[in-house]
């Protein structure tokens, strides 16, 4: 399998799926986008609306509504379809209904002859990514969940604001489940090249910083947004676009995504958020960080939560 056509199929034409499509068009990432949704009329309308703006973008991206048959020659299939949000405060509460939807979707995608890369956005993303892996029969490198990439972006934004520095100059990440058991390996966080612990120690004005509070705010940020506007779309769409871009542009970029662990960090048979190198073949390497003992235990705990729920799906 090798990227060649730059065709992306998005399963689910809701707010997240269509925002991903818009982001791909604005950033000129691919040649063709196909929207597939159970509501074919809505998918057609969304495709038309996006296509009508092409005059004012830098690339003539082809955008159409389609069917699962369009996955046959796609490089990437993005799964955003899920059960409707109904006030859940834990992504795991959505698992059973969403798993049923995914069990119906993936076989139809594979029947088309698809042999590209899945980017899984649907929550709970670590468990659903593992389900897609099992249902598709594709090699592990071709299944990428969005993982903790969005929490990493939220963390860096928070630290950047706190230190009055561009968040892109913050080095740090969130690991584990895209859910309540995620954690921040604080020993590895740096800003402007300096360890965050040293910054706090050397600057009295930062002595009141509460790292536990920042971690909790990062953990709950998605639900904070949900409570204020009813959904999240722009952040996660940007994450998905970044992952798709890394693959289609063969970037060899490190992003904390959900990928299958086969001994890395002592973990097997689970997808969880860890930094991975992405290129045109999908996940080509997992970056193993040197965690301290507290962080190792936090990762073990997070993976145990993921595995418990994988078992509930009978996998």
Within 8 A by CB and 6+ apart from 25, the residues are: 33, 50, 53, 54, 57, 59, 61, 63
Fold of 7-145: Rossmann fold (3.40.50)
- What the block records as the tokens of 47 is 């495709």
Task: Find the helix or strand (DSSP H, E) in which 202 lies.
Answer: helix 196-202
The b-or-e profile of 269-307 (16+ CB within 10 A means b, else e) is: ebbbbbbbbbbbebbeebeeeebeeebeebbeebbebbb
pLDDT at position 90 is: 58
Alpha helices in 52-148 (DSSP H): 95-111, 125-136
What CA–CA distance (Å, rounded) separates 186 from 212? 10
d(CA 219, CA 89): 11
For residue 116, what pLDDT is reported? Answer: 97
Looking at residue 88, its pLDDT comes to 53
pLDDT of the chain, 315 residues: tens digit per residue: 554 559 999 999 999 999 999 999 999 999 999 999 999 999 999 999 999 999 999 999 999 999 999 999 999 999 999 877 655 555 677 788 999 999 999 999 999 999 999 999 999 999 999 999 999 999 999 999 999 999 999 999 999 999 999 999 999 999 999 999 999 999 999 999 999 999 999 999 999 999 999 999 999 999 999 999 999 999 999 999 999 999 999 999 999 999 999 999 999 999 999 999 999 999 999 999 999 999 999 999 999 999 999 999 988
CATH 3.90.110.10 range(s) for the chain read 149-312
Q: Coil, strand or helix: which one is 91?
A: helix
Q: Give the span between the Cα atoms of 274 and 284, in whole angstroms.
A: 13
Token pair, residue 256, equals 């904390």
The dotted CATH code for 149-312 is: 3.90.110.10
Domain with CATH 3.40.50.720 in the chain: 7-145
The CA-based angle 35-119-128, given to 5 degrees, is 105
Single pTM value for the model: 0.95
3-class DSSP state of 277? strand
pLDDT at 92: 72
Nearest to 116 by CA among 138, 131, 146, 101: 138
Q: In 3D, which of 53, 287, 92, 80 has the Cα closest to residue 177?
A: 92
Instruction: Give the pair of three-digit tokens for residue 165.
Output: 């520095």
Is 178 part of the annotated catalytic residue set?
Answer: yes
């Amino acid at each position: 399998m090798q990227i060649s056509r730059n065709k992306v199929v998005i399963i689910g034409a809701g707010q997240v799926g269509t925002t991903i499509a818009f982001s791909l068009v604005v950033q000129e990432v691919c040649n063709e986008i196909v929207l597939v949704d159970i509501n074919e009329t809505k998918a057609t309308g969304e495709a038309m609306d996006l296509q009508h703006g092409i005059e004012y973008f830098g690339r003539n991206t082809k955008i159409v509504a389609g069917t699962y048959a369009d996955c046959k020659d796609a490089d990437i299939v993005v799964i955003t379809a899920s059960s409707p949000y109904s006030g859940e405060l834990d992504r795991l509460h959505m698992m059973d209904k969403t798993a049923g939807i995914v069990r119906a979707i993936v076989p139809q995608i594979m029947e088309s002859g698809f042999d590209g890369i899945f980017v899984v956005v649907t929550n709970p993303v670590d468990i659903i990514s593992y389900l897609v892996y099992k249902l598709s029969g594709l090699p592990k490198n071709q299944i990428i969940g969005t993982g903790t990439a969005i929490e990493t972006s939220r963390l860096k934004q928070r630290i950047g604001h706190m230190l009055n520095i561009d968040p892109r100059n913050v080095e740090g990440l969130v690991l584990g489940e895209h859910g309540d058991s995620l954690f921040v390996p604080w020993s590895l966080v740096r800003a402007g090249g300096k360890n965050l612990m040293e910054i706090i120690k050397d600057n009295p004005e930062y002595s009141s910083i509460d790292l536990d509070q920042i971690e909790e705010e990062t953990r709950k940020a998605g639900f904070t947004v949900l409570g204020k506007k009813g959904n999240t779309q722009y952040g996660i769409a940007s994450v998905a676009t970044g992952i798709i871009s890394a693959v289609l542009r063969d970037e060899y970029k490190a992003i904390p995504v959900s990928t299958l662990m086969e001994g890395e960090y002592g973990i097997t048979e689970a997808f969880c958020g860890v930094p991975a190198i992405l290129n045109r073949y999908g996940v080509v390497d997992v970056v193993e960080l040197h965690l301290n003992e507290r962080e190792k235990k936090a990762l073990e705990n997070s993976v145990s939560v993921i595995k418990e729920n994988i078992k509930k799906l009978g996998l």
